[in-house]
Amino acid sequence: MNLDMMLFAKDEKPLENMVSNGGYTAIFRKIGVVGDSLSSGEFESLDPNGNKGYHDYFEYSWGQNLARMCGSTCYNFSRGGMTAKEYCESFADSMRFWDPQYACQCYIIALGVNDIHNQGQDIGSVEDICKEDYTKNAKTFIGYYAQIIQHLKKIQPRAKFFLMTMPKEDGRRIQKKTMVHRKAIYDLADYFDNTYVIDLYEYGPIYDAEFRKKFYMGGHMNPMGYVLTAHMVASYIDFIIRHNPEDFKEVGYIGTDLTYCE
């Protein structure tokens, strides 16, 4: 049995080996998902007059599918239409999501569609981040996004963070903004410690017409789409853990004062 070939192959690409049971993502017993409708299991409906309805079905979200795969607890810190700005300015407080009882070993953050595509939020840069006081971050996408990470780090200092890019779609206008968002995500991951990128733009499938026919219902995913996303997220985190094992050996101690020093 060659573990190096099976688990640590240097030429392996993310999502090249999909897991069905959560893989090493299961080392996280408490997972928090900060996101919008696509993190909330949102479905669209149509009434007899063709009017659309939008409904968050959290039990169908990829976060809850991920939790069932791993046997872990997952908190949906999400809602349809969410932005980093609203999350910081009102939503998280109103929902008491900053309460230490919800502290997690890892956080998966999937924000940006509403911020960048729908509301045209100024992206900003990591220079918008105030290390000493996150409430003084500039009011840009990166400023608000960083504030979420900084606040969660204050609650759970040793937590791991996984930041998701948007997937590649068939549309030049959409793709240009998606690439700007992708760069912002990588800049944030470089800025903070214990922070990694789930790059669905580079390594995920193209969300084209054929993909949407199978996995979407209107502008949001169908049940199969959320299960597929759960498998991609679990597989990507599994890949990151396997290729950075030293970073994750003390995950079991997150939330405690314990450590292991050789």
- Which amino acid is present at 30? K
Residues of the chain with pLDDT under 70: 1-6, 171-174, 262
Q: State residue 2's pLDDT score.
A: 61
**Separation between Cα atoms, residue 152 and residue 53, nearest integer Å:** 32
Q: State residue 170's pLDDT score.
A: 81
With residue 221 as reference, give the H or E element that holds it: strand 220-221
Cβ atoms 255, 156 nearer than 8 A: yes
Q: State residue 260's pLDDT score.
A: 94
User: How many alpha carbons lie under 13 Å from residue 234 in its C-beta half-sphere?
Assistant: 28
Q: State residue 5's pLDDT score.
A: 60
Cβ atoms 102, 159 nearer than 8 A: no
